[in-house]
Chains A and B, each alone.
Chain A
Amino acid sequence: MTSKEEKLRKTRKKLCELLQDALMLELTTIPPYATACYSILEQGQYDRSEPTIVNAEPIEVIRQVMVEEMLHMVLVANVLNAIGGKPELNNPDLLPTYPGTLLKGRGPTVHLRRFCPEQIKSFRLIETAPKDTGPAKKGDYRTIGGFYTFIMLKLEEACDVFGDDKIFTGDAKRQISNDDYFGAGGEVIEVIGTSTQRRDAAMAAIRKIMEEGEGADMGDRAGDKDIIPGPEGREDVAHYFKFNEILHSRYYHPDDSVNEPPTGGDLIVDWSAVSPMQDDPCESNYEKAPELAALSAEFNEAWTGLLDGLHIAFNKDKSALRALVPNMYNIKFLAQKLMRIPLPDGSGETAGPTWTYLVKK
């Protein structure tokens, strides 16, 4: 092997590792977002003394972030597959546990907590844009935006040094398209075509992830360039701003600035209509309650099934995605079930999902 080939091999390996890390990064955010979202009680006007429907909106705001994170996983997998990598979704050594840190300790710590202001603030922190991408470009990234900036840089470098065709060598059959996946999170970008087209598509996919997370122009504006379906064709806002909307009980306009509070309409939040789930639920709390342990196991089986299914969809058979939709909803309903069951310790807190991947024996 010539030294150039060896260098190419190493570069490709490094790129694959970075994208695999990105995949895990996106995955890591989903359980905390989902847990907070599912802990919110949506109450109808007939269930309360006041004739208002509460918390439907914060549920929807977090749900939108969540489905976009799922889309981001698909986008990362498409880029990784396009460069001939193998997205791993069910390797227990790589999968997140909670509490845990993002970016292998460089980013913030994430917990599984119920819907409360501290948790939403921590979500906002996760989606914060880097103030200065200078250090990130040198590999010193501490935010998600910084990390993707670094990946884009490395990918471009590799393409420039070795040629697009040496980098984008993946099988086009592995690319997930809009026909394969619909998660309400927006359009899937397929990394297909000539090697130049694939390079452009890969960059576009990563930029889309960054815009939806931290906002267009990395945080200067609230908008994320996605168009909200409907006659008005309004622009959607990025995740950071969506979490801020909840904290301010007010919607953003896409042109609102990151430095100013939102200026849109009211968004009613009732922080009290929430299941009192214990922080960072763990299996050991269910040892004395076999019925709870059984439900928790049922949840983890569903979660494991989802990860296994995604692994198959990204590596073998795209059609597996459709069958995962009921699985995702099942995860939601099992999580909600757990969050309604009081813990046997008499604390008044309830159980919750642990999001544990069950290793096959």
Chain B
Amino acid sequence: MIAVTDDDRTYDVVIVGAGFAGGILAKELVSDGHSVLILEAGEDHGKTWETYRSYLDQYYLSLTKTPNSPYPNLPTLPSPSVLDITAVHGTEPDTNGYFVQRGPLPFGSNYLMAYGGTSLHWLGTSLRMLPADFEMQSRFGLGVDWPFKYEDLKSDYERAEWEIGVSADAEEQTPKALGIKTSGPNDNRGYFARDYDYPMHSIPSSYVDNFFARADGMPIEIGEDAGDTVHLKVSHTPQGRNSTPRRPKAARKILVGGEPQEQFRPRGSTGPFAFMGQRCEGNSSCIPICPIQAKYNAMKTLEDAKYTGKHRMKTITQAVASKVELGANGRVSGIVYKKYPFPGVPQYELRRARGKQYVLAGGAVENVTLALASDICRSSGELGRNLMDHPYMMTWGSAPEPVGPFRGPGSTSSYANFRDGTFRDKTAAFRLEIGNWGWKFAAGAPNSDVERLVEQENLYGKALRDKLYHDVQRQVRIGTLVEQLPRATNRVTIDPAYRTPMGEFRPVISYDLDDYSRAGLAASYDTCAQIFQRLGIRNHTAYNPSDAGYFTYEGRGYTFFGAGHLVGTHRIGTDKHNSVTNDKMRAWDHENLWLVGAGSMPTIATSNPTLTLSAMAYRAARAIKTAVRKGGAA
């Protein structure tokens, strides 16, 4: 047994994880005068501008430019990689990567353990959920209801949108404007508060978007009765990347969470590059790295917290939280962490951090492995269960004319029509995301095109150059993000047989797609095929039984990937039997412990979870502030 050294200082709040949620919590808490310690397992990527630039170089030199490719993958602190995903066969788990995959289908999502977290390589999509998404059980008899409704999260959505810096226009983003036939009659009313708007205008549509918009108005049957038919509409996607700031109308300021706001000032890069990145410049590499940080990352919020908090705010990186310790009455008494001085070398010092309140903000999987390893939050039996993602399926083809791909953010628009509707009693809702980068994700373009034309089509010189233009300029791709329902069998567990070189538990994952999601994927494929027919796009989509994510539904085969949206493993709820925490994200079993992040979401629906988890961080922050002020008393 190695001795544990206690940290000298006791903080008001100890937060595990410096990502989206941890950043917002830290900023909120220090702004209120509380002291905060953040423990971050990864390295500090933003400490100096050289570090960030060196990741950019690493990206240029990576042969496969996967989401995690620019960032170090330490043997001591492995992050899941999309390259490790293989089909799971038989009863033996697949242990290729960091995840131990029990199947039956591989869980294809990843995240990043680093200062700033996965915000370093997110795409920036910042969607609110729809009212129906909070009431899946009441409306469709499926999944669970949230312990609160859309209306209750609305002002926190506003706060999150202004913190992240979301570019969109409210009038374009109501369910009605998006062309959604909502399942409830009043879902459209008051979706945005009257004096609210996003901080910046929409990111301009891509040329590809405008090509797809030619099919606008096309009727698509979804569900069983004719009344469900929707009319296609390409709509701007709200994005956490800098665009033109909105000028408040002279007399009325924009109200954000009830507070009037001055015009938004876009934040760009860190260090001497602060004048870069105040607008997106179209570097077309949001995933995995925005060279100018025009895309929001949590390092910006963490910088604010540091600046505001000064001595009240401390961050310790290269600190792997290893055990949550309990004292009397089930209260958390400390968090033991492994502080490693040399990235990649499994040598560490055991230390103990102490606070009045403790927050796990390490993401849906890491929160669970830490809690399981610490044998806490057990009474509901829900910890680690209900793992959800957006199964991500692609359809791709050749447009009849050049559409200018490989320019701009990865996606600027989508067909949001299918995000809700009465069809949701039998078929999962989905969103069709229009890709701006040709067949990059689908087939490795444009490098794969060079290889094909040189090695197989035997082209060279001018003819090669011309054919490349011809083929790649026509590449289009639609990505489907389909919802999943919470299932007890989709879960994260731990097993003493599987540990990292630092001795931490690796996540052991069981995962499958139910027929509800499969039906949604099949419906989305049919929709894409129809869109292709309407626009004269030659369909090149190919799903191969040898693909790791191959599955069948009603006799047809499809391939899905992970979307990196890890949700549901420590959900909020109404009592200690159906959930891990209450609606403020306080653990039912441990009065001074809070679990935040996308793991708190009871359902995933069709919106990328970042905005929702960020909004929920504000909700948790208020409750934590109250708890800190009240002190230890229950």
Contact = CB atoms under 8 A, between A and B. Distances in A.
Contacts of B538: none
A56 interface: yes
B276 A53 contact: no
A122 interface: no
Given A45-B54, A229-B274, A231-B303, 7 more contacts: A52-B50, A64-B275, A182-B279, A184-B278, A184-B279, A228-B275, A231-B307
B275 A231 contact: no
Interface in A39-71: 44-47, 52-53, 56-57, 60-61, 64, 67
Contacts of B308: 231
8 closest residue pairs by CB, A with B: A231-B307, A44-B57, A231-B304, A228-B274, A229-B274, A53-B53, A230-B274, A184-B275
B53 A229 contact: no
A230 B303 contact: yes
A53 B54 contact: yes
Nearest to A251: B272
Contacts of A6: none
Given A60-B272, A229-B265, A230-B303, A182 B247 contact: no
Q: How large is the interface on B (under 10, 10 to 19, 20 to 34, 35 or more residues)?
A: 20 to 34
Contact of B267 (A44, A56, A230): A230
Contacts of B49: 56
Contacts of B306: 231
Nearest to A227: B265
A260 interface: no
Nearest to A229: B274
Interface string B55-80: 01110110000000000000000000
Given A229-B267, A231-B303, A232-B307, A60 B57 contact: no
B273 interface: yes
A178 B244 CA distance: 8
B507 interface: no
A229 B266 contact: yes
B113 to A, nearest CB: 22
A44 B58 CA distance: 9
A54 to B, nearest CB: 10
Contacts of A231: 303-304, 306-308
Contacts of B307: 231-232
B391 interface: no
Main secondary structure of the interface of A (DSSP, over half): loop
B266 A44 contact: no
A291 interface: no
Contacts of B274: 228-230
Interface in B229-254: 244-245, 247
Contacts of B53: 44, 53, 56
B116 interface: no
Contacts of B244: 178-179, 182
A151 to B, nearest CB: 27
Contact of B61 (A46, A60, A67, A228): A46
Contacts of B54: 44-45, 53
Nearest to A43: B57
A229 B268 contact: yes
Interface string A178-194: 11001010000000000
B79 to A, nearest CB: 21
Interface string B18-53: 000000000000000000000000000000011001
Nearest to A183: B279
A184 B276 contact: yes
A57 B275 CA distance: 12
Interface string B381-412: 00000000000000000000000000000000
5 contacts: A44-B54, A56-B49, A60-B273, A179-B244, A184-B276
A67 B273 CA distance: 13
Contact of B278 (A46, A53, A61, A182): A182
Nearest to A268: B50
Interface residues of A, number: 23
Interface string A211-233: 00000000000000000111110
Contacts of A60: 272-273, 275-276
A186 to B, nearest CB: 9
A53 B50 CA distance: 7
Interface in B299-334: 303-304, 306-308
Contacts, number: 60
Interface of B: 49-50, 53-54, 56-58, 60-61, 244-245, 247, 265-268, 270, 272-276, 278-279, 303-304, 306-308
A107 B53 CA distance: 39
Nearest to A177: B247
B268 A179 contact: no
B303 A46 contact: no
Contacts of B58: 46
B549 to A, nearest CB: 33
A353 to B, nearest CB: 22
A67 B270 CA distance: 19
Contacts of A228: 274-275
B236 to A, nearest CB: 17
Given A182-B278, A182-B279, A229-B267, A57 B303 contact: no
A36 to B, nearest CB: 18
Contacts of A46: 57-58, 61
Contacts of A232: 307
B25 to A, nearest CB: 17
Nearest to A265: B272
Contacts of B56: 44
A182 B278 CA distance: 9
Contacts of A45: 50, 54, 57
Contacts of A251: 272
A179 B245 CA distance: 8
Interface string A327-359: 000000000000000000000000000000000
A231 B26 CA distance: 15
Given A45-B57, A53-B50, A53-B53, A229 B303 contact: no
Contacts of B245: 178
Nearest to A186: B275
Contacts of B266: 229
B275 A229 contact: yes
Nearest to B267: A229
A156 B265 CA distance: 33
Interface string A228-255: 1111100000000000000000010000
Contact of B247 (A53, A61, A179, A230): A179
Nearest to B54: A45
A213 B531 CA distance: 55
Contacts of A229: 265-268, 274-275, 278
B394 to A, nearest CB: 28
Contacts of B61: 46
Nearest to A68: B275
A328 B272 CA distance: 23
Interface in A250-307: 251, 267
Contacts of B267: 229-230
Contacts of B278: 182, 184, 229
A46 B60 CA distance: 10
Interface string A139-163: 0000000000000000000000000
A56 B265 CA distance: 25
Contacts of A44: 53-54, 56-57, 60
B204 to A, nearest CB: 9
Contacts of B50: 45, 52-53
B360 to A, nearest CB: 26
Contacts of A47: 57
